[in-house]
């Protein structure tokens, strides 16, 4: 099909909830892909942080297709080896105790909310169910996760929201602690607020809130949906903050391109859910988990050290470019502040064969963790040339 045929079919039958760019992608390898007309692009988006190993990684494809030829799906009433193996690897790399598999980041965050509420109910009874989230946060598009998203522009039309959620100011210890009242069961935060503009939290702030929560038995939840799976240079971003959360949500890079999410339970919470408390039809799907096992086995210390090096290389190169006023983020999750319109930069990059993202007023970069030096240099050359013309 031609681009116009694909576009017309999409517009006729797909609900228009996305502002699509005028490109129909066809195939790719690692961080390089091609549209239906054969034009080449360097991908610095990873499908918004999903394609940790880039496009069409051979070992990942082998793991997935091997499992496809055995069992594509079986309900959670039965055991499968890939499900247990993936959970074991995540727990070993994170220091968490148990895992519940879901299908997306929003579903994972729904899971952490339910777990936190039940933990508190069992221990303290009714009246201790409030969750504190941060202003400028993003936790998903379902009603509960949208209710916990601290950005008003996502909220319009969908009232009333789930009650029992209070917002605190990020990186403001005094304000946050003042919100942790006796009716609070948990606090949730992203170590880097991705959709909020790639804004990292201060380590001192995180540790102060964490210590207060430990003293008051308020569960500390970290949303690692975008920051997890090596994206920031460690397996999870919280490992750079010297904390051990009670609950963690993850997704995106864990699947490498197939839908997956997960709730991780710490020592306090590992026994809080019982049969019948929570469930999902496709969670722990053996095909998706087989792909996850391949990804998880690759995320060793040497691999993560390379992510950190690539992130520093990208940061240092971009800081020399015109119109750049700053680069924020961690590892290979970066937000570029500009003194020109970011949307125009993104459009010009696409025209010149570079795919990048936005995050509020910034250009956001989430390249595949496996991107090569050659691909990086080509991507950064395109970005520099675009900025020179602005």
Domain CATH code at residue 117: 3.40.640.10
Is residue 11 in some structural domain?
A: yes
**Average pLDDT of the segment spanning 321-345:** 98
The pLDDT, as a whole number, for residue 59 is 98
Domain housing 328? 3-57+301-389
Tokens representing 319 are: 């800081």
Residues 82 and 41 in one domain: no
**What does the pLDDT look like over 42-96, one tens digit per residue?**
999 999 999 999 999 999 999 999 999 999 999 999 999 999 999 999 999 999 9
Distance CA 50, CA 291 (A): 12
**What does the pLDDT look like over 212-248, one tens digit per residue?**
999 999 999 999 999 999 999 999 999 999 999 999 9
| Model pTM score | 0.97
Give SS3 for 213: helix
Q: How many residues does the chain have?
A: 390
Residues 328 and 241 in one domain: no
CB of 289 closer than 8 Å to CB of 259: no
Q: How confident is the model at residue 39 (pLDDT cuts 50, 70, 90)?
A: very high
Residues 48 and 80 in one domain: no
Annotated binding site for N(2)-acetyl-L-ornithine: 141, 280
Distance CA 99, CA 86 (A): 9
Is residue 30 in some structural domain?
A: yes
The CATH number of whichever domain residue 337 belongs to comes to 3.90.1150.10
Gyration radius (Cα) of the chain, Å: 21
Annotated binding site for pyridoxal 5'-phosphate: 105-106, 138, 223-226, 281
Distance CA 163, CA 167 (A): 12
**Average pLDDT of the segment spanning 261-277:** 97
The pLDDT, as a whole number, for residue 383 is 98
Annotated binding site: 105-106, 138, 141, 223-226, 280-281
Q: How confident is the model at residue 99 (pLDDT cuts 50, 70, 90)?
A: very high
Share of the chain above pLDDT 70, in %: 100
Q: How confident is the model at residue 180 (pLDDT cuts 50, 70, 90)?
A: very high
């Amino acid at each position: 099909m031609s681009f116009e045929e694909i576009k017309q079919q999409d517009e006729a039958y797909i609900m228009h909830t996305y502002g699509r760019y005028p490109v129909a992608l066809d195939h790719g390898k690692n961080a390089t892909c091609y549209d239906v007309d054969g034009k080449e692009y360097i991908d610095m988006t990873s499908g918004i942080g999903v394609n940790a190993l880039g496009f069409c990684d051979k070992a990942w494809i082998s793991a997935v297709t091997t499992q496809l030829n055995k069992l594509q799906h079986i309900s959670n009433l039965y055991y499968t080896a890939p499900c247990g193996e993936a959970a074991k690897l995540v727990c070993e790399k994170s220091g968490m105790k148990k895992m519940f598999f879901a299908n997306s980041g929003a579903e994972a965050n729904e899971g952490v909310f339910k777990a936190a509420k039940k933990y508190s109910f069992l221990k303290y009874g009714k009246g201790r169910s409030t969750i504190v989230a941060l202003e400028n946060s993003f936790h998903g598009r379902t009603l509960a996760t949208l209710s916990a998203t601290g950005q008003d522009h996502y909220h319009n039309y969908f009232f009333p929201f789930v009650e029992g959620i209070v917002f605190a100011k990020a990186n403001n210890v005094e304000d946050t602690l003042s919100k942790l009242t006796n009716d609070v069961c948990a606090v949730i935060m992203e170590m880097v607020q991705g959709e909020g503009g790639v804004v990292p939290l201060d380590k001192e702030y995180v540790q102060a809130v964490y210590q207060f929560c430990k003293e008051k038995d308020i569960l500390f939840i970290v949303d690692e949906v975008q920051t997890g799976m090596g994206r920031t240079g460690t397996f999870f971003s919280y490992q750079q903050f010297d904390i051990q959360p009670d609950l963690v949500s993850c997704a995106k890079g864990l699947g490498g391109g197939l839908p997956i999410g997960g709730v991780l339970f710490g020592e306090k919470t590992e026994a809080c859910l019982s049969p019948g408390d929570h469930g999902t039809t496709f969670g722990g799907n053996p095909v998706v988990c087989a792909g996850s096992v391949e990804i998880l086995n690759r995320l060793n210390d040497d691999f993560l050290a390379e992510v950190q090096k690539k992130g520093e290389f990208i940061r240092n190169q971009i800081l020399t470019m015109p119109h750049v006023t700053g680069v924020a983020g961690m590892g290979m999750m970066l937000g570029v502040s500009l003194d020109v319109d970011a949307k125009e930069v993104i459009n010009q990059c696409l025209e010149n064969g570079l795919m990048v993202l936005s995050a509020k007023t910034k250009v956001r970069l989430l390249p595949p963790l496996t991107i090569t030096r050659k691909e990086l240099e080509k991507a950064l050359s395109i970005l520099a040339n675009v900025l020179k013309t602005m």
